[in-house]
C-alpha cells in the first residue's frame, strides 16, 4: 500500500520535530520527535533484552496480551478513528475501518497461533531414516523492523506488527513521517494494557528508517518500489531477511457476460476507496467491446454520485482528501497527460476545494502507453480501455511492471478462475474488489516490481517471522561408532553403501545389478 514518500514542510526552529498537518485543511494536528540513529540503536538493544521472556510465554501466554490489546482497540476505536482522520484527511468510514480491521486480525492470529507455531515432526524419507525422530522448530527473530506507509496509518502497522508479536518477536515500528500520530496511538495502546515492552516506536524520516534496517534482524517494508530496492540492497549487505510489499497498478477485466451493474459498482468502490490510495486499488479497466458503453455509462453515474469531503463524527461523505500535496500533483499530472494525448474526462478531472482533494475521475479514449495506465497513480482515477476480447484484456493487463492483484468480472465463475490463472499477479478477486485483503488465510504478496515475499497466508504469516531449526534425535540405542565414521574400512563402506542403494534404487539396481 504504497507510493513514493513525499516531502512536507518542517519548522525551522524545531529541527528535531516533525509537524503533522491535516491534508484536508492544512492545520497542524500534532508533532513527533525525530529518532536519531543512536536512539534507534538504544531502542533495539532494549527490545533484545525483553524479547526472550516474550518468546518464552509461548503462543498461549502471548494470546492473553494480544486479546487485551484487541479489547483496548475496541474501547478506543473512536479516538483512533479521529486520529487517523486528522492526519490523513480520510472520510469517516474509511478511517473507521482501520481499528476494526486490526482487531479482527488480532483475533485470527491470537486464536490460531498455537496450532500455526507448533513443532513439526516430518516423516522420514525412507525406512532407514526412521531410526531418527525428526523435529522442525520455529524460533522467532529477536527483533523485527516494520516500516509502514502513510495511506493506512493505523491498519498498516497492525498488518505486520501483530503477526510478528504473535510469533514471539519484539518489534520496532517506524511509521511514515507523513502520518505518525496513529502509530503513536498504536504503541500507546500496547503500553496502556501493561504488556511486556516488546513493541517500540521510532519516528522520523529516511535516516530513521535506515537506522532501523541497520539494527534489526528482519525487515518488513511497505512502500514505494524505489525505496524497496534500496532496503533490499541494505538487507543484502547484512544478509538480513526481508519482505517487501511495493507498488501496484491493478487491472480490472470486465467481460461481456458480466453483471454490468455489479461491475460498475464494484469497480467504482475498488478505484475510489480511500481516494484510490490503496495498494490494491483498481487503477485501469479493460472492458469487452459489446458492453463497453453500457459499463462506462454506469461507472460514470456511480462515480459522479460520490460525495467528497471530510466528515466529523457523522457520515456524510464517501471520498476524502489525498494524504499529501505531492500525491495530488501526481494524480493531476496523470490526468493532464492523458487529456493532452487524446483521452476524455467524463467525470471529475481536477483538484477541488481547500487542501488536497482531487475529484473522483473517469477517463475514456485511453491508450495503453499513457502514464495513467503505465505508472502507479495512487489516486481517485479510473482509466477505461475498450478491448476486443478476453485475450486482449489479459495481454494488456499483464503489460505492466507491477503485479500485485487484479479483478475479473464475469457471469461464469469457472471462466473467471481460468482467466485468473493467466494473470501475472499475486492475487485475483472474481466479481469483487479487496476480497483478498480480508482473507487472512490467503497470502498477500506481489509479483514483479510489486514486491518480494508475502504477508499472512495462514500459518505462513507467523512462520515468516521465525527462524527454522532442524533437530534429529535417535530413536534407538546408539553404538560407539556409526558405519561411516572413521576409520573407513571396505567392509563397513560396502555395507553402508549397499543399504543406501537398497533403500533408494529401483528394481535390480537395489542389488547393484543392471537391468
Pairing status of strand 199-201 against strand 218-222: unpaired
Catalytic annotation present for 245: yes
Interatomic CA distance for residues 432 and 501, integer angstroms: 54
Interatomic CA distance for residues 427 and 7, integer angstroms: 32
Q: Which of 177, 245, 288, 375 is flagged as catalytic?
A: 245
Interatomic CA distance for residues 478 and 169, integer angstroms: 37
Q: What is the DSSP letter of 126?
A: S
For residue 135, give the H/E element and its range.
strand 132-140
Cell output for 365 = 479514449
Spatial contact of 270 and 281, defined as CB atoms under 8 Å apart: yes
Measured N-to-C along each axis, helices 181-192 and 58-75 cross at an angle, to the nearest 10 degrees, of: 120
Cell output for 510 = 537395489
Spatial contact of 218 and 241, defined as CB atoms under 8 Å apart: yes
Interatomic CA distance for residues 272 and 319, integer angstroms: 7
Interatomic CA distance for residues 291 and 476, integer angstroms: 71
For residue 266, give the H/E element and its range.
helix 260-272
Pairing status of strand 402-403 against strand 170-174: unpaired
Tell me which residues are annotated as active site: 245
Amino acid at each position: 500500500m504504497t507510493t513514493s514518500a513525499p516531502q512536507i514542510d518542517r519548522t525551522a526552529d524545531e529541527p528535531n520535530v516533525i509537524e503533522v498537518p491535516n491534508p484536508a485543511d492544512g492545520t497542524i494536528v500534532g508533532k513527533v520527535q525525530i529518532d536519531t540513529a543512536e536512539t534507534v540503536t538504544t531502542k533495539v538493544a532494549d527490545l533484545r533484552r525483553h524479547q526472550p521472556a516474550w518468546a518464552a510465554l509461548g503462543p498461549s501466554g502471548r494470546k492473553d496480551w494480544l486479546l487485551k490489546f484487541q479489547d483496548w482497540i475496541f474501547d478506543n476505536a473512536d479516538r483512533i478513528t479521529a486520529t487517523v482522520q486528522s492526519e490523513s484527511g480520510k472520510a469517516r468510514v474509511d478511517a473507521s475501518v482501520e481499528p476494526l480491521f486490526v482487531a479482527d486480525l488480532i483475533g485470527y492470529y491470537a486464536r490460531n497461533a498455537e496450532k500455526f507455531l507448533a513443532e513439526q515432526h516430518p516423516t522420514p524419507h525412507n525406512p532407514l531414516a526412521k531410526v531418527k525422530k525428526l523435529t522442525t522448530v520455529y524460533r522467532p527473530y529477536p527483533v523485527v523492523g516494520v516500516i509502514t506507509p502513510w495511506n493506512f496509518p493505523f491498519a498498516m502497522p497492525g498488518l505486520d506488527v501483530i503477526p510478528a508479536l504473535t510469533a514471539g518477536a519484539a518489534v520496532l515500528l517506524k511509521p511514515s513521517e507523513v502520518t505518525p500520530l496513529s502509530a503513536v496511538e498504536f504503541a500507546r495502546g500496547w503500553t496502556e494494557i501493561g504488556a511486556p515492552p516488546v513493541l517500540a516506536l521510532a519516528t522520523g524520516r529516511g535516516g530513521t528508517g535506515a537506522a532501523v534496517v541497520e539494527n534489526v534482524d528482519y525487515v518488513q517494508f511497505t512502500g514505494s518500489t524505489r525505496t524497496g530496492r534500496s532496503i533490499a540492497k541494505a538487507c543484502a549487505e547484512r544478509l538480513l531477511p526481508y519482505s517487501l510489499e511495493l507498488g501496484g497498478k491493478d487491472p480490472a477485466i470486465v467481460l461481456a457476460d458480466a453483471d454490468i451493474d455489479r461491475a460498475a459498482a464494484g469497480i467504482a468502490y475498488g478505484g475510489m476507496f480511500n481516494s484510490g490510495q490503496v495498494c490494491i486499488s483498481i487503477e485501469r479497466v479493460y472492458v469487452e467491446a459489446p458492453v463497453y458503453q453500457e459499463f462506462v455509462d454506469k461507472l460514470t453515474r456511480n462515480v459522479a454520485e460520490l460525495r467528497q469531503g471530510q466528515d466529523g463524527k457523522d457520515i456524510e461523505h464517501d471520498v476524502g482528501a489525498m494524504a499529501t500535496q505531492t500525491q495530488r500533483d501526481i494524480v493531476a499530472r496523470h490526468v493532464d497527460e492523458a487529456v493532452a494525448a487524446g483521452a476524455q474526462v467524463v467525470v471529475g478531472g481536477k483538484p477541488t476545494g481547500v487542501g488536497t482533494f482531487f475529484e473522483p475521475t473517469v477517463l475514456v479514449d485511453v491508450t495503453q502507453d499513457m502514464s495513467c495506465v503505465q505508472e502507479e497513480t495512487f489516486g481517485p482515477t479510473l482509466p477505461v480501455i475498450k478491448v476486443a476480447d478476453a485475450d486482449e484484456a489479459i495481454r494488456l493487463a499483464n503489460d505492466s511492471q507491477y503485479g500485485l492483484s487484479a479483478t475479473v468480472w464475469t457471469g461464469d465463475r469457472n471462466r473467471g478462475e481460468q482467466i485468473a490463472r493467466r494473470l501475472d499477479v499475486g492475487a485475483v478477486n472474481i466479481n469483487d474488489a479487496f476480497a483478498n485483503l480480508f482473507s487472512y488465510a490467503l497470502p498477500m504478496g506481489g509479483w514483479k516490481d510489486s514486491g518480494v515475499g508475502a504477508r499472512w497466508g495462514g500459518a505462513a504469516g507467523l512462520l515468516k517471522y521465525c527462524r527454522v531449526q532442524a533437530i534429529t534425535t535417535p530413536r534407538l540405542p546408539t553404538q560407539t561408532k556409526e558405519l561411516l565414521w572413521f576409520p573407513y574400512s571396505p567392509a563397513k563402506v560396502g555395507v553402508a553403501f549397499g543399504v543406501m542403494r537398497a533403500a533408494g534404487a529401483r528394481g535390480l539396481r537395489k542389488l547393484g545389478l543392471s537391468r
